[in-house]
A and B are shown apart, each in its own frame.
Chain A
Amino acid sequence: MKNSIFAIIVTALLTISSYAQVTIDFEGTNGQRGPFQQNCWFFASTAIKSGSSALNGSWSLRTGQLSNMPDVQAPHRLRTPWIDMVPGNITFSERITALNGGAKYLDVVVLDQNNNVVSTILQKQFTSSDVSNVTNHSIPVNITGIHKVEFRWYGQGGTTRGLMDDLSVPGTYAADPGNSCQPLQNSPVDTDNDTVPDISDEFPNDANSAFNNFFPQPSVFGTLAFEDLWPSQGDYDFNDLVLDYNYNEITNANNNVVRIEISLIVKAVGGTFDNGYAIQLDNVTPSDIASITGQDLTGSLFTLSANGTESGQSQAVIPVFDSAENVITRIGGGSMYNTIPSVGGTGVSETINLVINMDAQTTYAPGTIVYNPFLVVNQQRGVEVHLPDNVPTDLADQSLFGTNNDASNIGTSTYYKTQNNLPWALNMPSSFKHPVEQQDVTGAYLNFAPWAQSGGTNFTDWYSNTSPGYRNDAHIFDNN
């Protein structure tokens, strides 16, 4: 019985040692060393060659001409990545292309983590028989732990080159290409066991969450600016509703979006309409949403399903607020809010923290969800204002398309633009200081017109204050 158990253990150990090998046959990269180098293999004056240089398969390692003896180190080398070695045999094939000039040599050594030689497993001086005969080596080594194996070719004069192929070292790959090829850290701490180590996990205690993915960027807000007289043109001050936003798609270890966190701040209400605001996720169905928190809905503008999406929609529509009044605190009177300097009508907005929890079965990759924000004009659910060419929702009143100044055309998927291709909404990837009441955006942002007329090529940062001449501060509301 004891003998049987011993035999099983020995067999198991032999099996493990025989399967745990780090190998290189130089195939699969079309002669490029880059993929091997990325995996922490080191080449010095050696290349991967085909044709007559191939010992086996299509590609083998070939050295430069072995015409120099080692000075500090051998001129032609191949070094493995860090390997957690186990006892076994190091195997490889080699020969030389010719033998001329002086003597030619190959040393094979094992290096420790200080790059000191702990064992020289082969010292060979080539002979003429090595020109035509491939030698298949199988060298037993009894070394354990983290080591590298290095091949060193050298010689005196002549044009001899060394060839080598099919290297196999007993052990497991133990280098980390993402840590400057240092030895791989074993079992890094992963508190939530989501396979993302704590050092990389932005949610180390939440197995369902691993990474933040921001737009525009962390702690930076973009701005949506609306005109609300659609389908009629307005005054193009783009301040009828101004919203700062920041989107964060939180993904799990499998890179699937598990929830979306959206921060919104109402910066301005430059009109008298009592507008609502919502976001359609164009490529997400309502059933893909598990739940929503953070909505600020007090009226009857939107009818919700149980999961917080708007009912009657084929795509997921997330009502955010049904009146901007819900989220702003006015200072001073009037219907205007942060659009008229020095006339009161200022105030502050609470930050709306919207959280959209995705259904656990969904597998949206970050960056693939299409956000289609829109304004609902003056409590009239069918009257929506979207960014140019963003699609209306199912509840939009299509009879308004093509009326007044609007040139929307369902047949050509043209939406929310005038005949002259002018929009009712703008989206800037940084916080945008909106024009004051009734000041056309072209007079406030002096590079807006050149940007638009260049088709978006020139002055791509027109909304910024990069340098003098970008904007006319007298036409911009700035309460900071």
Chain B
Amino acid sequence: MIYAIERLLKLFCRKQFFTQDYRGKFAKNINQLIMQIMKNKRFRKLLFSAFIICTVASCDVEEVVADDIDPINQNGMKSLVVDDSFDWSTSKDYTINFKGNPIGTTIERPLEIKIENGDVIRRVNISLSDNVSINLRVPSKDENLILSWGSLEKTLTLEESNTIDFTFIEPDVDEEE
């Protein structure tokens, strides 16, 4: 409670109080006070005297703790200029189109999708002849996934496109001669 009053008064004592930046904080603290008072009606009687006492004290405290909000960043977020299309997502959704082997076997086992540290994030039970689409969300910072089906394993490079084709079949290198 004391902390709430103190915060409220700190805000009140600031010159920037009436800027939009502080309205949100002030509303927050007002609400806090109201809630506390509503819960404890006896406190109403003490509030007025506490308000007077704290006014002076809090304004003095303000000088001491004025740097509790870094002035450099006071408007940091609000001053950001971001593209309208930016979605603030830290992850990316991919559809991996697994291209099955046209003459594949029907043996089933899980296709495992791992992130680079080896942790498995997806298991899909498939045969090598299946064509399947796999949806998954990957942190945007990740650059590769590792796909394995038993002993078959291949690294998939995550591309800008959300849709990626994948097959375990290696391209043919003619070694007939």
Contacts and interface: CB of A to CB of B under 8 A. Distances in A.
B101 A439 contact: no
Contacts of A441: 76-77
Contacts of B72: 443
Given A213-B121, A366-B122, A38 B168 contact: yes
Interface in A255-291: 255, 271-274
The binding surface of chain A is classed by DSSP as loop
Contact of B31 (A33, A184, A272, A334): A272
B83 A213 contact: no
Contact of A178 (B31, B124, B150): B150
A427 B70 contact: no
A131 B5 CA distance: 102
Contact of A35 (B70, B87, B104, B125): B104
Nearest to A43: B175
Interface string A210-245: 111111111010000000010011111000000000
For chain A, the bracket of interface size reads 35 or more
B73 interface: yes
Interface string A18-48: 0000000000110111111111000101110
Contacts of B170: 34, 37
Contact of B35 (A220, A272, A456): A272
A176 interface: yes
A365 B103 CA distance: 25
Interface in B53-109: 68-70, 72-78, 80-91, 101-105, 107-109
Interface stretch (A90-98, A133-141, A312-320, A417-425): A417-425
For chain B, the bracket of interface size reads 35 or more
A480 to B, nearest CB: 21
B70 A28 contact: no
A456 B140 contact: yes
The binding surface of chain B is classed by DSSP as loop
Contacts of A65: 177
Nearest to B115: A217
Interface in B132-174: 134-137, 139-141, 149-152, 168-172, 174
Interface in A176-222: 176-180, 184, 195-197, 200, 202, 210-218, 220
Residue from A173, A202, A429 with most neighbouring chain B CB atoms (10 Å): A429
B90 A438 contact: no
Interface of A: 28-29, 31-39, 43, 45-47, 49, 62-65, 173, 176-180, 184, 195-197, 200, 202, 210-218, 220, 229, 232-236, 251, 253-255, 271-274, 333-336, 343, 345, 365-368, 378, 387-389, 420-423, 426-430, 438-443, 449, 452-453, 455-456, 460-461, 463-464, 475
5 contacts: A32-B169, A35-B103, A62-B176, A196-B108, A233-B78
